[in-house]
């Protein structure tokens, strides 16, 4: 298998690369559903609330790039909570039913509980509560879990790439102990943030020996572990194809230790393939963006920390929604601009990744995951 290496590049201008959404001349009220060029509905909104993180995970924010001299966005450029709430309501009017808060590390955003409370008041077009979730490294989760639940957060997903402490410290690259993450998980479960999911990015030769130990640790606990293939997200993580461990191999290893059986997806567009332990003590999931693309029913849109819209995790440019939010445009005009962006969407990078020309054209231009959220 041929390796493809993404070089480390200057990231400073990548965040500024964006287009202006178009407001149509004739405005129409949102219908509660909107589809892109492939018929994919808009269902899932992921909102990055900060580009900062206190970890330096090797596959996301490698220390050699995101060092002490790296310039993060000033607070004035971030969307305010009021702007985020306004945008969220516009997206929900187009059919969004799930909102995930991400980062960076979202718990670093001051008063994040206030934003959760604001978003929790929004209802879907069918009058149901939003599925409001948050992804975190859990470094601050033990102290914030109860206040987040009280504010209206439904559940959390925790990034955890090893159960072995030494391996985990190498992966986060800031010498953070795995026990502190496990304490956060236990506190969140006790607070009622369930079902809790753990996300493990699997990098061959780095932490793949931890697959079965992580599965074993959470078996029977009510926690769902999702094993994620190491992806070529952003331009700084030195991705190589030979470091990808296919999800099929992950399932095989776990099945050898604890017998598994496949189960159906929870909803159309779910990223994880689900597997259940045959003895009934829980389930796992695998996310296979590299070896088994799921572009065909992808229903996700991403809103960056400073208000850019991105139509794909592997995007090279976004749409400047903040300019509309701060430009005095009405909700109806802004809503129509959002609909137009989605209706023109053609993205399917994971289906095209095997084409060397496509991959090379994007390798040094993709937006960083720490900026638009995973």
Instruction: Parse the chain into domains and list their residue ranges.
Output: 31-372
Residue 258 confidence (pLDDT) above 60: yes
Report the pLDDT value the prediction gives residue 53, as an integer from 0 to 100.
94
The answer, yes or no, to whether the previous bond of 195 is cis (omega within 30 of 0) is yes
What pLDDT was estimated at residue 1? 36
pLDDT for res 214: 98
Helix (H, G, I), strand (E, B) or coil at 324: helix
Radius of gyration for the chain, computed over Cα atoms and rounded to the nearest angstrom: 20
Query: Does pTM surpass 0.85?
Result: yes
Output 121 or 65, whichever has higher pLDDT.
Answer: 121
159 forms beta bridges with 199
The answer to whether 257 touches 242, Cβ cutoff 8 Å, is: no
- The pLDDT of 258-282, averaged and rounded, is 90
**Contact (CB, 8 A) for 286 and 247:** yes
Residue 16 has pLDDT above 80, yes or no: no
Whole-angstrom CA distances from 346 to 140, 232, 296 are: 38, 19, 10
Q: Is 17's pLDDT higher than 70?
A: no
Percent of the chain with pLDDT over 90: 73
Average pLDDT over residues 170-175: 95
Q: Where residue 256 falls among pLDDT bands split at 50, 70, 90? A: very high
Q: Is 266 helix (H, G, I), strand (E, B) or coil?
A: coil
Identify the H or E element spanning 234. Answer: none
User: How confident is residue 356, by pLDDT bands cut at 50, 70 and 90?
Assistant: low
pLDDT of residue 213: 98
CATH classification number, 31-372, choose in 2.30.30.830, 3.60.15.10, 3.20.20.70, 3.40.50.11890: 3.20.20.70
- What would the mean pLDDT of 38-49 be, rounded to a whole number? 96
Coil, helix or strand for 185? helix
Residue pair 43/158 in contact (Cβ under 8 Å)? The answer is no
Element (H, E) at 33: none
CA distances (Å), origin 114, targets 54, 69, 70, 119: 21, 31, 28, 9
For 192-202, what is each residue's pLDDT tens digit?
A: 999 999 999 99
pLDDT for residue 7: 38
pLDDT for residue 10: 46
């Amino acid at each position: 298998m041929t390796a493809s290496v993404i070089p480390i590049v200057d990231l400073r201008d990548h965040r500024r690369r964006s287009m202006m959404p178009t407001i149509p001349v004739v405005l129409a009220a949102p219908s509660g559903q909107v589809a892109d060029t492939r018929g994919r509905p808009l269902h899932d909104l992921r909102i990055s609330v900060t580009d900062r993180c206190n970890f330096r995970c090797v596959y996301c924010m490698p220390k050699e790039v995101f060092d002490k001299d790296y310039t993060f966005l000033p607070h004035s450029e971030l969307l305010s909570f009021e702007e985020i709430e306004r945008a969220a309501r516009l997206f929900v009017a187009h059919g969004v039913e799930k909102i995930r808060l991400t980062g960076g590390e979202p718990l670093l955003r001051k008063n994040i509980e206030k934003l959760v409370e604001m978003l929790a008041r929004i209802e879907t077009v069918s009058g149901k509560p939003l599925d409001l979730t948050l992804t975190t490294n859990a470094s601050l989760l033990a102290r914030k879990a109860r206040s987040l639940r009280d504010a209206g957060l439904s559940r959390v997903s925790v990034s955890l790439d090893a159960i072995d402490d030494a391996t985990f410290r190498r992966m986060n690259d800031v010498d953070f102990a795995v026990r502190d993450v496990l304490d956060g998980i236990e506190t969140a479960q006790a607070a009622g943030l369930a079902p809790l999911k753990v996300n493990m990015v699997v990098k061959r030769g780095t932490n793949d020996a931890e697959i079965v130990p992580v599965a074993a640790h959470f078996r029977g606990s009510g926690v769902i572990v999702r094993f994620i293939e190491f992806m070529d997200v952003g331009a700084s993580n030195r991705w190589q194809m030979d470091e990808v461990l296919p999800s099929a191999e992950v399932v095989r290893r776990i099945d050898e230790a604890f017998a598994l059986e496949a189960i159906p997806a929870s909803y159309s567009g779910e990223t994880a393939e689900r597997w259940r332990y045959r003895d009934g003590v829980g389930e796992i999931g695998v996310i296979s963006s590299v070896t088994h693309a799921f572009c065909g029913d992808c229903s996700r849109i991403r809103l960056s920390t400073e208000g850019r819209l991105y139509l794909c995790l592997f995007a090279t440019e976004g749409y400047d929604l903040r300019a509309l939010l701060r430009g005095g445009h009405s909700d109806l005009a802004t809503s129509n601009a959002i609909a137009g962006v989605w209706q023109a969407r053609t993205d399917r990078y994971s289906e095209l990744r095997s084409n060397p020309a496509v991959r090379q054209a994007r390798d040094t231009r993709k937006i960083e995951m720490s900026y638009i959220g995973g």
